[in-house]
Structure 1
Amino acid sequence: MSPIAWCLTAGFAGLVVLGFPFAIAIALAITAALLIADIEPAFLAQSLISGSQQFSLLAIPLFMLAGELMTAGGLSQRLVDLAGTLVRHRTGGLAMVAVLAAVVFSAISGSAPATTAAIGSILIPAMARAGYDRGFAASIAVSAGVLGPLIPPSIAFVIWGIVAEQSIGKLFLSGVVPGLALAGGLLVVCWVHAKRNHVPKLPRATLAETWAAFHEGKWALASPLVVLGGIYGGIFTPTEAAAISCVYALLVGLFVERKLTLPMLPAIFSNSMRTSAIVCAIIAVSTGFGILVAQEQIASRFAHWMADNIQQRWLALASLNIAFFLLAAVMDEIAIMVILGPMLIAIATRFGVDPIHFGAIIVTNVAIGMAAPPIGYCLFIGMAMSGLSLARISRAIWPQILLMLVVLFLTTYIPGFALFLQPAGR
């Protein structure tokens, strides 16, 4: 490899190992490569601007803000109450409430961390009081949060759509079946755990309680219908849908639920901006990284190497999944998508993988990475809410990780599993 290629690969990896934040590590690797190549350093500033001026990127901070507003405005509590009236009387019912509430909240926020925080803050203490092991309670909240990247609208699919230059709407649809399959599997895990540990059932909700929960939760249920209906009805784009979601959450929180107040807004905006800044900084600096990687032909060379050494498509996809799982356990998932995106796309093209199907594979990997020890984002949120150690939650979450790998296997090797809802003649 050339000195520039070494800077972009080994140099970047070394900085990450030393503990540099990903955005800074990428920027330093680019700077070193520019100095070696005698390219004007202004290239980095230009790539930062071009990388951050994509219309679709606006969806990321907006969906994150929508999730914060929904949680503060009390809509997540409404979802939990509604799910509770439906399944709390079953074996493992309270844990199932977390899963069902996460399905709906995922269709509002599009974010795994936001879903984990919204559901876990309510249900981890409630499950512990009801007799569930606290480690399992935290692990099921983390696992349910993983539905965020899969159930549309999804921030992860927005990022991949930008990287791969694919239809974000079609990518959204490719996550529905894997997301619902994972949710169904988690319900089974909840039942098995409660049955094995003799967790007592809660009383069945009366018809009046169920009706009241539906009535009080109607505004929360309407949000995903408005957002997704608008996207697939052609009324607005995914980015515009994110803005609509924010306005909807703000109005409902202020004037309907009345749990949201004006003095709360600065802290809510600050939290969502802090998280969004991390994501957008990685994407912005990665634009220049991607240009230099393409110039050095690193992605295409690696794709040719795989094609020469791995003849079967199934084996190439298995290798990618294993590599992605190992990387996601120790590296930021968004950084993996953005930095390795050109290489991954080159490999998928080389082996003739449908680009929408490949997007579903990548985002399913990303979802698993959110919960995979040792640095999955959602794990740390679960730790903060439960007060447990990383080791304790990691031990409890392995059955759910195995379930996620089964869903990944189905998504990878059965294209119709991800493409089932795609429009005919797409």
Structure 2
Amino acid sequence: MTDPILLAVLFVVPLLVMYVFGVHVAFALGLVSALVMLLGVGPMWTVNTFANQMYSSLNSFTLLAIPFFLFAGRMMNSIGLTDDIFDFAEALVRPLPGGLGHVNVVVSIIFSGMSGAAVADAAGLGSIEYEAMTSRGYDGSTAAGITGASSTIGPIIPPSIPIIVYGVTAQVSIGALFLAGIVPGLVMGLGLMAFITVGALRSGTASVESFSLRELFESSVRALPGLIAPAIIIGGIATGLFTPTEAAAVAGIYAVALGGLYYRNLDPSTLWSILGDTFEDTAVLTLIIAFANVYGFVLTISGLPTVLTEQLLTISSEPTVLLLLFALFFLILGTFMETIAIIMIVVPIVAPILPQIGIDPIHFGIVMMVALMIGLISPPFGVVLFALERVTDLDIEDIIRGIIPYYVPLLGALVLLILFPSAVLAVPRYFGLV
């Protein structure tokens, strides 16, 4: 079977149908893979083939980074580190026009170096940021909009669980992907801050609060233990001192040390609860990865990637045009599907064809992440919207109204990253990872 429409229908439509009916993405991937093998489109069905593909996908040292980063992020949330980071960010950028809007963005940038998840940012920091802004007279919708928009930075700046999953699925260096996310994350943050500044100046609500060097020093001392965590992760990977997995383990140990020795608020029950949540999330992710590897194997044997390459090249042979089309596709998918599910369904199809159409897989991965993160704050089903609804008590319509203006800087950043691949690849190239 080489008809592209029939192949696409066979591989994609059953997945979407099962997703709509609530079948977990892991089981959906496994069922579709088994169906295709039984129909004789891909490799011949055997239990050994199925099991071997699942095992080979999990027999990876890199995947150990997932539970360690999940654990470190949850630990940082639970020990009270977010309050100190918020105070530091407020002392640093409070005098800028837009005041607490900038604080919101800076906190998200710093926190992204610990959690790597947009929903964790919105849920973990959302209530703190929202209450701080509304107590200073900010409209609730505006405060929720800035909080949601800034949360999209989390999975772009390392560490990032979605980037790890993409790297494993596409067989791309996790370290290179991590470093490639630094500049894009900062571009998104600076774009949001510039937009907030312009909005504050135009509306006449620009901050007039004075800068206090003493307050900045005192808050930086309190926040220093937390600020060291991103430096350990990024610095260790960039210098070659750690692999991403080792950096994740160090971050986890460091988080426990902070809670037990510095903040002294880590009790056995809290630690046990965090471990339980980490094990549960890790089990779900590894199950998805295992079934997705079978799905990717069957896809490759079926010849769909080759057919897709031929079809794409009939549209355009210009990589930038194709990447813009991919970004639009991911923006739409991100509005109603989970990030990990999209990665596991789409990447096995797309990754094999990237070299043939002239797109760097690292550049593609970061563009994909940025587009999917914007999708997370987009109606009708953006996950971050519902996380904000829980922590703000606003109607979903009010949250959407507050977020809409911030699509401008985020989409602008996405287009810039597509047009200028060097912005994405500069840091990993500097450290010799590309």
Cα distance in structure 2, aligned partners of 1:351 and 1:340: 16
Q: Tell me, which stretches of 5 or more residues in structure 2 are unaligned?
A: none
Point out the more displaced range, 246-255 or 4-13. 4-13
* Cα distance change of structure 1 residues 380 and 64 upon mapping to structure 2, 3 Å threshold: farther
Q: Tell me, which stretches of 5 or more residues in structure 1 are unaligned?
A: none
Once the two structures are TM-superposed, the CA of residue 196 in structure 1 deviates from its matched residue by: 5.1
Cα distance in structure 2, aligned partners of 1:70 and 1:49: 32
* Cα distance change of structure 1 residues 132 and 333 upon mapping to structure 2, 3 Å threshold: same
Point out the more displaced range, 47-56 or 407-416. 47-56
Point out the more displaced range, 228-237 or 69-78. 228-237
Once the two structures are TM-superposed, the CA of residue 162 in structure 1 deviates from its matched residue by: 1.2
Matched residue type, 1:135: S
Once the two structures are TM-superposed, the CA of residue 203 in structure 1 deviates from its matched residue by: 4.2
* Cα distance change of structure 1 residues 4 and 183 upon mapping to structure 2, 3 Å threshold: closer
Matched residue type, 1:141: T
Aligned partner (choices 115, 123, 134) of residue 128 of structure 1: 134
1:331-370 aligned within 5 A = 331-370=337-376
Cα distance in structure 2, aligned partners of 1:195 and 1:274: 47
Report if aligned partners of 2:181, 2:366 keep a CA contact under 8 Å in 1.
yes
- The answer for the alignment partner of 2:275 in structure 1 is 269
- The answer for the alignment partner of 1:60 in structure 2 is 66
Point out the more displaced range, 45-54 or 218-227. 45-54
Residues 390-422 of structure 1 deviation map (CA, whole Å, 9 limit, x = unaligned): 332222212222322111111111111212223
Aligned length: 426
Secondary structure of the corresponding residue to residue 427 of structure 2: coil
- The answer for the alignment partner of 2:236 in structure 1 is 230
TM-score, normalised with respect to structure 1: 0.92
- The answer for the alignment partner of 1:29 in structure 2 is 32
Identity %: 32
Secondary structure of the corresponding residue to residue 137 of structure 2: coil
Q: What RMSD, in angstroms, separates the aligned Cα atoms of the two structures?
A: 2.3
Residues 222-281 of structure 1 deviation map (CA, whole Å, 9 limit, x = unaligned): 111122222122221101111111110111111101232222112222333333333332
- The answer for the alignment partner of 1:328 in structure 2 is 334
Once the two structures are TM-superposed, the CA of residue 11 in structure 1 deviates from its matched residue by: 1.5
Cα distance in structure 2, aligned partners of 1:30 and 1:362: 24
- The answer for the alignment partner of 1:49 in structure 2 is 55
Residues 161-213 of structure 1 deviation map (CA, whole Å, 9 limit, x = unaligned): 21222222221221111111110111123334444555574743533322210
Residues 1:206 and 2:209 aligned together: no
Point out the more displaced range, 92-101 or 108-117. 108-117
Residues 95-124 of structure 1 deviation map (CA, whole Å, 9 limit, x = unaligned): 211111111111122222222223212111
- The answer for the alignment partner of 2:177 in structure 1 is 171
1:56-135 aligned within 5 A = 56-135=62-141
Cα distance in structure 1, aligned partners of 2:290 and 2:398: 36
Point out the more displaced range, 144-153 or 370-379. 370-379
Once the two structures are TM-superposed, the CA of residue 296 in structure 1 deviates from its matched residue by: 0.8
Report if aligned partners of 1:130, 1:200 keep a CA contact under 8 Å in 2.
no
Report if aligned partners of 2:7, 2:304 keep a CA contact under 8 Å in 1.
no
Residues 331-371 of structure 1 deviation map (CA, whole Å, 9 limit, x = unaligned): 22222222211332234212212232222222222332332
